[in-house]
Structure formats: C-alpha cells, structure tokens
C-alpha cells in the first residue's frame, strides 16, 4: 500500500482530522519487517514457551541464556546503529519485534528492560567512548543491562530519589550511596544505569558495572506475576565510579529518565498487544474444544460476545500503536533532515508524540487486562487452575498498568502535555475551543451532508467527539486555571475521552484505507470492528464528559454543557450484537485471533 509522508504534530489529533492515506497500518509492513516479527514469534514459541515453568521457578541462569540467544538472533539490535553491531531498522520495526516477543510472559519484561531502558540511555546520552565500550556487548547479548531509577520512597515521584553521589577530594571519582528497588534484570545484569543526586541536589545518570565494589543485590522479589523475570533491590554502599561513568550531563538526569520513558511506554503497548493476541487465540481454541450441553461453548452468544470483544479491542489498539509509530518515524526523518543526530532525532520525535505514547501505554495495558480477564472467564473453572495457561496470563498482565508510569500518572500526563502544547503555541487549542463555545450558543446543525461513502458518518461522529473533549477541557481550564493539576479526577475524565477517540479514529482510518485497496467486502468484519468500537466510544465519551461537567459546574452553565455533550455524542444506534457474532464467527472458523 502507498504510505504518504505527511508530518503531523503530537496531540494534533484532537483538533484536526486525518486522511486515511496518511495513516500507517500493519498492512503496510514490508516483507523484511514481517520476517523480523515472525523471527520474534518463532523464538517465543520454540525457545520461551516450553520453559515457562522453569523460568517461573527461577532456574539459575535460564533467563540469561534465553536473552543471550535472542541477542545472537539480532533481536536486541533492531534499532541500534550498525557501527555498534545493530541492524539500524526503523521505529515501527522495533515495535513490531517487541509485539512479537510480547506473548512470552516474563521474557518480554526482561527483553524490554534490556533493549529499552537499559540500552537506550547509553545510545542516546552516552559519550562515543561509552557507546563503543558497552553497546556492542549489549546488542550481541554478551552483556546484560538494567535500569535503576525507582527507590523504596520514590516511585511515581522519580525526582524525589535519595541516592547520593559525592565527588572525591581528588575530583576524579564519584561515590554513590543509596538503594534502588524493583530493578528488572537485577540478578544477572552486567551494566546498571543508575540515577543519583550529586551532593543531594543534581539528578544525574551514571553507568555502574556489576563488579564495582560496594554494589550488592537483594534477594529475588516474590511477585504476583512475571515470576520468571529477575526483580531485585540494588544496594549502593560507597560505590566508587570514575567521572567518565557520568551519563549525559550533570543535573540533567531527568532528561534521560523521562525521554526514555516516552519510548518505553509505546513499546510496552506493543508488548501488551502481542500478549493480547496470544491470550485471544488461547480463548478461541479453548471455546472451540470445550463442549457443554452437547455443543462447543463457542456456539453460545455469551461466549461469542467475549471472543469478539477481545478481538475488537486488540484490533483497535493495534491500529493506534502503528499509526503513532509511523508518525514518530516521520518526525524523526524530518529532524534528521534538519541536521539533528540520529539520537537527537528519535528522542525529539518521541518527545513530540509523548501524548500518544502515554495514551497507548494506558490503552495497551488495559486491553491486555480485559483480554486475559475474559480469557479466564471463557476457561471457566479451568481458568482458575494453575495447570492452565490463563492463570499465568492473568497474573502476568497486571504489572503493565503500574510500570513505565502508572496508568493514572499517564492519564494526567497526557492531558497536561496537551494543555502545555496549547499554552506554548505548539497546538492551536484556543481557536477550536472558542469555536466549540460559539457552537454551543448556536442553533444545532442537523446535518444535511449527503456523503454516504464508507465511514463518512462515523468520521463526522469522531469530529463531534473531539468537540466534546475541547468543550470539557476548555471548561476545566477556565474553571480551575493554575489549580487544574489538583483536580485529578477531571484530568482523568478528559484523558479517557481522548484515549477512546484517538483509538476509535485510528481504527476507522485503518479500515477505510484497507477497504480502498481490497474492497469493502474483503474487510467486512473489520468494518464491524470499527463500528462497534466507535459505538462504545460514543458511550464512553458521554459518560466521562458527564462526570466532569457535573463535578465542575452547576445551574444554567451545567445545563448548557450537558446539552452540548448530548449534541456532540449523538449517533445512530448500531446493532453491535449481530456485528460481534459475525466477528466471533471469523475467529471461531480460524481457531485463532485472525485480524
């Protein structure tokens, strides 16, 4: 399929429509990109899945052995430049590989920690000497990495860290003292990216090697899920490192931490996507095999609803993930063309789309939670048995709503970043918001648009839902001004509206684009998916909008806004029951997730 190179701004989806031709979809991946994805899938199926029980029991050296094999296959080096032993492939390919390993339970946690938050700080912020020293080994799998940010007293408040670094009298070394917690890969890492405050004030990154005197590890944590991943505390007791171990600039450690998190968030969404597809396939296969009342339970409407809804949410979030992935890649190319380095360009592109990264982290992890929860329900009593795969899938999914920033933090961040873009003039929020206010006072437009092409009506609905977001967000800004940050419930209402609208629009545009190539009949069930998801999105926007309006306003103002919300969330009824049955029938026939 033809893919345009139209640049968009991060967060711009709220105020502007997007053309389907400008959206990247999974159908646009090249043969080479799909081969990389298949390599990751095959690795998980053949190497990881047979060892899940042994991994969960922390068999000594087993996770490291698997990680080394993944490195030898080239999976660690997808986005690493060739001069450091990598393949130098683009950002969408990196996400595609991350999706491929996503069904490996504890393995993708170790994989993501190594290839993301451990390697990327060195790639993007390291000196050339640091890159030459560490990246080839980290890329090949000879070395393993870990990222030490969280402390017992600082989780979401990362900058509240207590770990200190003090310059020695000779001015040649720093001495680190402190404690880090929940460190993934801690038990087998060779290289630790550690954050500390120089003299208790300047938040700074350091590279610390495993054998440095004074660095010690706690025992493996006993976790609810992802039991096979190594999670330990890291203790720093008079750990002496040379000045050359400083990563990035002194006092600028927050730039490393937060910029890397942007990339980590969308990668987490991709991993959750892979896990969701695996769990959906397990659900379909069990439903086809399990017989009750002399019929496979997949024949019953209640089960069809669950199978279809799993697929709908997976397809929708997949559409949004890969839409954003190419938006980031295009921005990276734009920044490269303006003379920025490879590292500066990708960081800048991810920073530009930090809103979308936060949105996708939330939606990806919550889709996975839904899929595994309904998977347990499809399995019934066997879903509650540790002898069946849904037990592990259910437990392993839960952490994704917590790490890379809790979903609550990411919701509030997404709205905060959009509003800041407006204040800085990076997004024209004021004009569209004022237009919405004027529309509230005008006679309603009863829409005489004669366009009956595929999704014309649905895209008009999306445009109205965006007006609902602007109306509620604009009211919140006017009402609370500088104290809006304290109104967390309202921020999360606005975020939930934006998350659903971005995902719904991405789904519609993906199907519209594919219908233009294959014809509507060939994507009939994808059309069903898009319409069911949009129908639910309308209800979500109405619900979250009402909650926010009721909490912020009263009297005539409340009545006016409620009428506006009703107008903006008005849509024709859609027979979702029959659509879900059609979607489920495709899955049941294929005996797997099939979209």
- Cα separations (Å) of 528 from 234, 320, 377, 509, 525? 50, 17, 24, 13, 5
Q: Tell me, what's the pLDDT at 432?
A: 94
Q: Please tell me the predicted confidence (pLDDT) of residue 446.
A: 67
Q: Does domain 147-247 have CATH number 2.40.110.10?
A: yes
Q: Which two tokens stand for residue 404?
A: 């890379």
Domains 147-247 and 254-409 share a fold: no
Q: Residue 447's pLDDT is what?
A: 63
Lookup result for tokens 């990598």: 86
pLDDT tens sequence across 104-148: 999 999 999 999 999 999 999 999 999 999 999 999 999 999 999
Structure token pair of residue 394: 């259910």
Looking at residue 115, what DSSP letter applies?
Answer: I
What would you measure as the largest C-alpha separation in the chain, in angstroms? 82
Residue 103: C-alpha distances to residues 45, 261, 273, 277, 592 (Å) = 9, 22, 9, 8, 14
Q: What is the CA radius of gyration of the chain?
A: 24
Give the torsion sign (CA, 546, 530, 460, 8): positive
128 is known as an active-site residue: no
* Contact (CB, 8 A) for 10 and 42: no
User: Tell me, what's the pLDDT at 1?
Assistant: 41
Tens of pLDDT, residues 409-465 = 999 999 999 999 999 999 999 999 999 989 988 877 766 667 889 999 999 999 999
| pLDDT of amino acid 448 | 60
Residue 251 near residue 202 (C-beta atoms within 8 A): yes
Q: Which CATH entry fits the domain spanning 254-409: 3.30.43.10, 1.20.140.10, 3.90.700.10, 3.40.640.10?
A: 1.20.140.10
pLDDT at residue 160 in the model? 81
Angle at 328 between CA 327 and CA 330, to 5 degrees: 65
Cβ atoms of 69 and 128 within 8 Å: the answer is no
Contacts of 186 (CB under 8 A, 6+ apart): 146, 217, 218, 230, 231, 232, 233, 234
* 144-177 confidence digits (pLDDT tens): 999 999 999 877 677 788 999 999 999 999 999 9
pLDDT digits (tens, 9 = 90+) for 516-533: 999 999 999 999 999 999
Q: Which run of H or E residues covers position 45?
A: none
The architecture of the domain spanning 428-590 is Up-down Bundle (1.20)
Residues 6+ apart with CB under 8 A from 566: 542
Beta-strand relationship, 145-148 and 191-198: parallel
What letter does residue 116 receive in the DSSP assignment? I
Q: What pLDDT score was predicted for residue 393?
A: 98
Query: What CA–CA distance (Å, rounded) separates 123 from 118?
Result: 9
Contact 295, 438 (CB under 8 A): no
Stretch 36-47: mean pLDDT: 98
Give residue for tokens 């509230």.
440
Domain 17-145: assigned CATH number: 1.10.540.10
DSSP string of 355-391, one letter each residue: HHHHHHHHHHHHHHHHHHHHHHHHHGGGGGSTTSHHH
Q: What b-and-e string marks burial along 75-89, b requiring 16 or more CB atoms within 10 Å of the CB?
A: bbbbbbbeebbbbeb
- What does the chain come to in residues? 595
The residue from 99, 309, 363, 404 that is catalytic is 404
pLDDT tens string 190-204: 999 999 999 989 999
Work out the percent of the chain whose per-residue pLDDT is above 90: 93
Extents of the domains making up the chain: 17-145, 147-247, 254-409, 428-590
Model pTM score:
0.96
Is the pLDDT at 2 greater than 50? The verdict is: no
Which alpha helices (H) appear in 210-252, and where do they start and end? none
Q: Looking at residue 157, what is its pLDDT?
A: 74
Instruction: Please list, residue by residue across 225-261, b when 16 or more beta carbons sit within 10 angstroms of its beta carbon and e when fewer do.
Output: bbbbbbbbbbebeebebeeebbbbeeeebebbbebbb
Q: Which of 250-259, 296-305, 352-361 has the lowest mean pLDDT?
A: 250-259
């Amino acid at each position: 399929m033809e893919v345009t190179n139209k640049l968009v701004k991060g967060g711009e989806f709220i105020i502007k429509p997007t053309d389907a031709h400008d959206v990247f979809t999974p159908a646009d991946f090249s043969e080479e990109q799909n081969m990389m994805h298949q390599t990751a899938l095959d690795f998980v199926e053949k190497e990881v899945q047979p060892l899940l029980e042994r991994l969960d029991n922390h068999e000594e050296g087993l996770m490291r052995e698997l990680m080394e094999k993944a490195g030898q296959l080239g999976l660690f080096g997808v986005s690493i430049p060739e001069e450091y032993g990598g393949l130098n492939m683009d950002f969408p390919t990196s996400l595609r590989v991350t999706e491929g390993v996503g069904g490996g339970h504890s393995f993708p946690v170790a994989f993501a920690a190594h290839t993301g938050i451990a390697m990327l700080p060195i790639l993007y912020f390291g000196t050339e000497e640091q890159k030459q020293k560490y990246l080839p080994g980290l890329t090949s799998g000879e070395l393993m990495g870990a990222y030490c940010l969280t402390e017992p007293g600082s989780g979401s408040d990362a900058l509240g860290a207590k770990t200190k670094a003090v310059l020695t009298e000779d001015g040649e070394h720093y001495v680190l003292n402190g404690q880090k917690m929940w460190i993934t890969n801690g038990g087998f890492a060779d290289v630790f990216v550690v954050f500390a405050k120089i003299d208790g004030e300047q938040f700074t990154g350091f590279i610390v090697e495993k054998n440095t005197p004074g660095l010690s590890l706690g025992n493996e944590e006993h976790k609810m899920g992802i039991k096979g991943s190594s999670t330990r505390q890291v203790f720093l007791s008079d750990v002496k490192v040379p000045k050359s171990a400083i990563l990035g600039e002194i006092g600028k450690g927050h730039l490393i931490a937060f910029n890397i998190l942007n990339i980590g968030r969308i990668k987490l969404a991709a991993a959750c996507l892979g896990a969701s597809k695996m769990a959906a396939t397990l659900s379909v296969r069990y439903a086809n095999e399990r017989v009750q009342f002399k019929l496979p339970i997949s024949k019953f409407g209640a089960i069809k609803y669950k199978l279809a809804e799993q697929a709908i949410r997976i397809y929708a979030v997949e559409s949004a993930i890969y839409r954003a992935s190419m938006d980031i890649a295009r921005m990276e190319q734009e920044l490269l063309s303006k003379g920025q380095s490879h590292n500066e360009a990708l960081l800048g592109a991810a920073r530009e789309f930090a809103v979308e990264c936060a949105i996708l982290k939330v939606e990806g992890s919550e889709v996975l939670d839904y899929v595994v929860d309904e998977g347990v329900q499809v399995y019934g009593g066997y879903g509650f048995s540790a002898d069946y795969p849904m037990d592990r899938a259910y437990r392993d999914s839960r952490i994704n709503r917590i790490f890379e920033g809790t979903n609550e933090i990411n919701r509030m961040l997404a709205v905060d970043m959009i509003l800041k873009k407006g204040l800085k003039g990076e997004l024209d929020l004021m004009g569209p918001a004022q237009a919405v206010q004027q529309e509230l006072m005008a006679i309603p437009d009863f829409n005489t648009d004669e366009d009956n092409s595929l999704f014309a009506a649905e895209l008009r609905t999306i445009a109205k839902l965006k007006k609902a977001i602007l109306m509620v967000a604009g009211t919140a800004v006017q009402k609370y001004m500088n104290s809006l940050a304290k109104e967390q419930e309202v921020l999360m209402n606005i975020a939930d509206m934006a998350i659903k609208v971005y995902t719904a629009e991405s789904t519609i545009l993906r199907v519209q684009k594919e219908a233009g190539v294959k014809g509507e009949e060939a994507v009939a069930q994808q059309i069903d998916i898009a319409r069911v998801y949009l129908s639910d999105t309308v209800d979500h926007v109405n619900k979250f909008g009402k909650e926010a309006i009721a909490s912020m306003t009263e009297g005539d103002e409340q009545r006016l806004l409620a009428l506006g919300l009703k107008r903006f969330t008005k849509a024709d009824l859609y027979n979702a029951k029959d659509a879900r049955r059609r979607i489920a029938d495709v899955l049941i026939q294929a005996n797997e997730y099939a979209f």
